[in-house]
Amino acid sequence: MKYGLGIDAGGTYTDAVIVREDDGKVIDSTKSPTTYPDPLPGIQNALDSLNPSYLNNVSKISVSTTLATNAVLENTVSERSSGHDVALIMIGDVIKPTDSKIPYTINVQGGHSSNGMEIHSLDTKNIRDFILETKDKVAAFAVSSHFSIRNPDHELKTKEIIEEMTGLPVVCGHELSQSLGSYERGVTAYIDAQLVPISTKFMNAVVSEIERRGIDAKIMMLKCDGSVVGIVEALKHPIESVFTGPAASLVGASYLSKMKDCIVIDVGGTSTDVAKVTDGIPEITDEGAVVGGWKTKVKAIRMETSAMGGDSHIWIKNGRISVGPRRVIPICMAATKWPAIKEKLKRTSIPSKIQLCENIQPTKFYVRAGHKTDRMSKTEKKLFDRIGDEPTSINEIFTDGLPSSVFLDLLIKKKIVHAIGFTPTDALHVLGDYTEWDCEASRIAAGILSKMTHSDHTTFCEEIKNVFGENMAAYVMSYLLREIDHVHIKKIIENKDQYITKFKVGVPVVLLGGPVQAYVDNIRDAIDAEIILPEYAEVGNAVGAIVGKVTKRVEILIRNVYEGNKSITMMFTPTGRKRFRTYSQALEEADIEGNRLVMEYLNNSGLQIEDHKIEVIKQDIKMNDADIFPMETNLVFVGVGDVEN
């Protein structure tokens, strides 16, 4: 009997599932806390919890992770000590912001027109000078040329020069995207080049762990569009693995619920994501993914994201409840590792109203993260020295007054210190809806915070649960009603009794996440929809990782252009451009070329493809309906293949 293993290394948990390949049934699953800064122990713990008789007969493994996304969001890829600096070469008339955060960059003459004609010859002298100046300071190069999607010749020539002079990795913008925007393509290539060593290190660790266990299996990685690819191919362009968490949740939700059309709510520790599956395929945004403030050209899942997750910090100011946006370790979870935290909670005192803020709360604790840094100010160092390897309360830290909480913020951002606090997960423990960890610790903390809001601990926790449920419903409707401001939607849901109305959703809403079953009634109360809580909803991301298919999108543009006084037909593909005498000839060739490029990708994915299908989406632009041939035709070839068992 053959089995598939899905692994999802998320921000809070690392999930793993075993799927039986002959009938696709999930037969084993586990969750383990993700470990920082090295995620490998978390993966090892997850695998150790699986049935070894299944694990030893795994024939294919697929991994999804937020590693690449977190690296960009946390700005760790740009630290000088990381050795991941990248030089960016922009070619031609590129519009870029004046406050560019890229330290090694140059703009040189060259580039092409929208018809692929060379505007200026490539300035190879300045390119060579720049390479000589930076080659010992960077680990890779990124290249983006004006309208390289119409003619990649200047990017390819620059790549040849860099490889000849340095032997370092080179990423070209046209290799990652066929969308307009040369600066955004450059940023995409820049981030991709930065992530190569990070993703390589992570996947090498996974591969070595699989080999250490003696498992003989093909290893795949999920991409941000919900498709899978062989590990060797995945590591060529790791930026395509950003946002694989949401992609995995969509694929997993559709698979577990057996719904090809559905809305998916994925409740994680840090955030809650809402997205849509149509005919079994995740909905992709036309806009490039924005990662850590960088606007890229990576095709990613269209989703609505709320900063409210299961581990969002619940804190009190002026008698009012605030949720997040920061993530903390839930008190119930912390108490299972450090039981003494309960006695500290019982002895805690409430700071004055002036002192209260997100970082200074009677139920907030801090603990060292396990690694040090020299990048601390004198005040930061003083605070750090007072924080121990076990949870330290506010009263213990600030024995001689309270300096600005900004310094605590800095210690958290630098990941020198972890914060512990009350969360929606703790509220569920108090109400008995979710009892994975220490319920007593949650009740003690809820008692303290509820007094600050002049209510009892049960009412306090029910209010948090209701706010969380309404928040999920509001983001479902914001996703569907994108023209309407989220504030107005939220107001209607929060005051549904006043408005005597309720939003109706025409497709099922599938819930994923650890404690998500606790919110089913809250969501039903907020919107009129079929709510589905599938079996194994708590590990849906890992399921999505292993059941994904190999998918490739190829875009080809056909356009009539003028060269001098003569009209000709041009075909633009990811590999270059070609002239044709007639429009019909171009259409015939586009069909052949599109299918060829899709099949080439499927065959080179590093995986054996069992079955495949190719769908063609055609869009014509005409001056009027009477025209025989359009001004231009955009063809999108979408190939989907099953991975051979």
The DSSP code sequence of 225-247 is: TS-EEEHHHHTTSGGGGTTHHHH
Which of the residue ranges 199-203, 217-221, 445-449, 574-578 would you say has the lowest mean pLDDT? 199-203
The per-residue pLDDT for 97 is 58
Q: What is the DSSP letter of 644?
A: P
| pLDDT tens, position by position, 511-537 | 998 788 899 998 998 899 999 999 999
- Residue 27 pLDDT > 50: yes
Same domain, 326 and 445: yes
What's the pLDDT score for residue 407?
80
In a domain, 627, yes or no: yes
537 token code pair: 């909803």
The answer to whether 46 and 7 are in contact (CB under 8 A) is yes
Residue 471 domain flag: no
Of 447 and 22, the one with more pLDDT = 447
In angstroms, what CA-CA distances link 520 with 437, 469, 479? 21, 8, 19
The amino acid occupying position 117 is M
What does the pLDDT look like over 588-643, one tens digit per residue? Answer: 999 999 999 999 888 877 777 777 888 888 888 876 666 666 788 999 998 888 88
Q: Is residue 495 part of a domain?
A: no
Which H or E run includes 393?
A: strand 392-393
Per-residue pLDDT, 399: 67
Mean pLDDT, rounded, for 156-178: 88
CB 501 within 8 A of CB 489: no
- For 431, other C-beta atoms within 10 Å of its C-beta total 19
466: tokens are 């209701």
* Among 418, 492, 429, 430, CA closest to 455: 430
- Residue 207's nearest CA partner among 180, 182, 178, 231 is 231
**Residue 484 belongs to some domain of the structure:** no
pLDDT confidence bin for 645, thresholds 50/70/90: low
Domain end point (choices 460, 483, 504)? 460
- In angstroms, the CA 211 to CA 5 distance is 14
Q: What is the pLDDT of residue 81?
A: 36
Question: Does residue 53 belong to any structural domain of this protein?
Answer: no
Q: Is residue 398 in some structural domain?
A: yes
Question: Domain ends where: 171, 197, 223?
Answer: 197
| Greater pLDDT, 79 or 249 | 249
Q: What pairing do the DSSP bridges indicate for beta strands 329-330 and 320-327?
A: unpaired
Is residue 301 situated within a structural domain? no
187-191, 380-384, 595-599 — which one is most confidently predicted on average? 595-599
Lowest mean pLDDT among 70-84, 111-125, 300-314, 358-372: 70-84
Q: Quick one: average pLDDT of 57-70?
A: 78
Closest CA to 616 of 600, 585, 640: 640
pLDDT surpasses 90 at 242:
no
Residue 216 has pLDDT above 70, yes or no: yes
Q: Take residue 410 and report the two structure tokens written for it.
A: 């800095």
Task: Supply the pLDDT for residue 241.
Answer: 66
Closest to 436 (Cα-Cα) out of 508, 516, 363: 516
Q: Looking at residue 307, what is its pLDDT?
A: 75
In contact, 571 and 589? CB cutoff 8 Å:
yes
Q: Is the pLDDT of residue 302 over 90?
A: no
Q: Residue 510 above 80 pLDDT?
A: yes
Domains of the chain: total:
3
pLDDT over 80 at 371, yes or no: no
- Provide mean pLDDT across the span 494-503: 82
Query: Domain residues for 316?
Result: 312-460
Residue 144 pLDDT > 70: yes
Residue 133 tokens, joined:
């100046």
Q: What is the pLDDT of residue 82?
A: 42
Give SS3 for 18: strand
436 and 316 in one domain? yes
Q: What is the pLDDT of residue 99?
A: 53
Taking the C-alpha atoms of residue 345 and residue 448, their distance in angstroms, rounded to an integer, is: 8
Question: CA angle at residue 136 from 134 to 139, to 5 degrees?
Answer: 90
Query: How confident is the model over 164-178, as a mean pLDDT?
Result: 85
Note the Cα 19 to chain centre separation in Å. Answer: 24
363 inside domain: yes
The mean pLDDT of 554-582, rounded to a whole number, is 85
pLDDT value of residue 49: 93
Same domain, 316 and 456: yes
State the Cα–Cα distance between residues 483 and 164, nearest whole angstrom: 51
Q: Are residues 555 and 446 in the same domain?
A: no
- pLDDT score of 79 more than 90: no
Provide the pLDDT confidence category of residue 340 given band limits of 50, 70 and 90: very high
- Residues 323, 441 within the same domain: yes
Q: What is the mean pLDDT of residues 158-164?
A: 95
For residue 81, the 8-state DSSP code is G
Q: Are residues 443 and 568 both part of a single domain?
A: no
Greater pLDDT, 555 or 382 = 555
Q: Cα(503)–Cα(505) distance, rounded to whole angstroms?
A: 7
Strand 320-327 to strand 272-278: parallel, antiparallel, or no bridges (unpaired)? unpaired
Domain boundary among 173, 197, 221: 197
**What average pLDDT is seen over the chain?**
84
The pair of structure tokens assigned to 123 is: 């300035």
Residues 316 and 450 in one domain: yes
